[in-house]
Amino acid sequence: MKEVTEHGKLLAAIYDAALEPDLWPDVLDRLRRLVDCRSGGILHGTLNPMTLTVKGATGFDPVVMERARDILDDPTENPFFLNMTMLEVGVPVPRQKFLDDETFEKHRIYRDFFEPQDLFHDITTPLSVSPDEAITLYLGRGRKAGPLEQREVRILLPWIPHLQRAMQIDRQMRMHRAGNMVLSDILDRMPFGVVLAGRDGEVMSMNRAAERIVGAGDGIECKRRRLVARSRSDNAALNRVVALAAGGQGGGSLRVRRYSGARPYPVFAAPLSRAVSACWPRSPEVAILFSDTDDDIEAPFAALAQLYGLSPAETAVAIEAAKGIGIGAVAEKLGIGANTVKTHLGRVFEKTGTRRQAELVRLVLAGRPVMLDVSDC
C-alpha cells in the first residue's frame, strides 16, 4: 500500500512540475531514490544556436556545479549533450554505451565535475528530440555503487512516458509564456493606455502608458482594482460603457475631465473575444483604451522622422507644428526665426506628402497607434 502511495505522489509530482518548473528538483529527488542514485538532472539543449542548461538538478554539489559551469553549459565540450540527439528517444542507456570508462576518465568534464562529487556510473534517457531542442534525463551514482543494471532500467521504464508527456506540456507552457511576454511587450510600447478588465470591471492588467496616466491621478485613478473617473457623472458614464462592453453590447466612449484643467482623456471600452472567457473563467473580457492628448508626441515623431527621413531640425519643427500652434509660436518655442520654421515645415510637407499643417496633424494621429516606443529595444 505504501508503494502505491509513493508511486501516486511521484506521478502527481511529475505533472505538477510540468506546470511549475521549480518543482522538478522534487521529481528528480524521488526518481534518483527509486533507482538508488545520488544525483539527477534534466539536460535541456537547444540546437540552433547550440546551448545547454541543466534544470531541476538534485544531489549535486552547487559549488562544484558553479565551478564547472563553463563546461556543463558548453555543448561542444559536454559529451552528454553531443549524444542527446543520437540516442533512441525514451530508452534508458548507461553512459558506457556511448562513452567508455577510459575515455570518460580522461575527459575534462569528469575531472572538473563528476570526480569531485564521486559520480561515475549513470543512466541517460532522451525524453524529447526535435529540430530545435533535445531534453534528456540524467541519473548518476558513485563508482563503488556499481553500474546501473537491468533491474534499475525496469524500475525506471514505466515513468518514461509520463516524463515525456510532462516535457511536452512544459514546452507548450514555455511557448505560451513566451507568447504572453511578446504581447505584453507590444502593449507596453503602445503610446496610449490599455487596461484589460474582467466582466465585473476588475482591472486585471494595464500597460505602461496606462500606469503612467493612472499614476498621475489627474482624472482617472485605480481604486480597489477598479478604474475610477474624477467626477461622479464621468464615473457613472465609465461604469456604463464598461458594463456594456462586458455584456457584449459594443461598449462605448466618453471623455473624462481632469483636475489639472488639461484636455479631457478620451476613453473607449470594447468587448474582447468570448472564446477566451469560455476557456478560462478569470480571463479579461473588456479592453479600456485612453490617452493623454496633451502628452509629449516626440516618441511617435521619432518613428515618423525615420519613416520619412526628417532631419533633427525638421523633426523639431514638425513636433511643434503637429500640436496645432502657429508659425510664430513654433519659432518662439524653438528659438529660431519664422522664415526658418517655414523652410523646415516646407521640407516636412514635401517629405511626408502633406500640404498643410492640418494634414500633418492627421498624419500623426492616424499613424500614432503603430508608431511603437522603441526606446527599450
pLDDT for the residue 374: 47
Q: What angle do CA 271, 274, 276 make, to 5 degrees?
A: 110
**In CATH, what is the architecture of 298-370?**
Orthogonal Bundle (1.10)
| Type of residue numbered 203 | V
Residue 94 in grid coordinates: 548507461
Strand partners, 255: 266
Q: Where are the beta strands (DSSP E) in 159-285?
A: 193-197, 203-206, 220-223, 226-229, 252-256, 265-271
Q: How many CA atoms lie within 13 A of 223 on its CB side?
A: 8
Q: Tell me which fold the domain 2-177 belongs to.
A: Beta-Lactamase (3.30.450)
Rounded to whole angstroms, what are the CA distances from 55 to 127, 375, 376? Answer: 14, 33, 30
For the chain, what percent of residues have pLDDT higher than 90?
46
pLDDT bin (cut points 50, 70, 90) of residue 373 is low
What SS3 class is residue 116? helix
Rounded distance, CA 356 to CA 374, Å?
A: 28
Any idea where the domains of the chain sit in the sequence?
2-177, 192-290, 298-370
Neighbours of 112 (CB within 10 A): 17
CATH superfamily of 192-290: PAS domain (3.30.450.20)
Convert 325-357 to b/e letters by CB count within 10 Å (16 or more is b). eebeebbeebebeeeebeebbebbbebbebeeb
pLDDT surpasses 60 at 372: no
Is the sign of the CA dihedral 9, 133, 185, 201 positive or negative? negative
User: For 27-77, what is each residue's pLDDT tens digit?
Assistant: 999 999 999 999 999 988 887 777 777 778 899 999 998 888 888 877 777
H runs (alpha helix) in 128-226:
150-156, 160-188, 208-216
Average pLDDT, the chain: 85
Q: Are 334 and 341 in contact (CB under 8 A)?
A: yes
pLDDT for the residue 164: 95
Residues across the chain: 377
User: For 182-222, what is each residue's pLDDT tens digit?
Assistant: 888 888 888 789 999 988 889 999 999 999 999 999 999 99
User: For 286-329, what is each residue's pLDDT tens digit?
Assistant: 999 998 876 655 556 667 778 889 898 998 888 888 777 788 98
Q: Are 133 and 53 in contact (CB under 8 A)?
A: no
pLDDT surpasses 70 at 350: yes
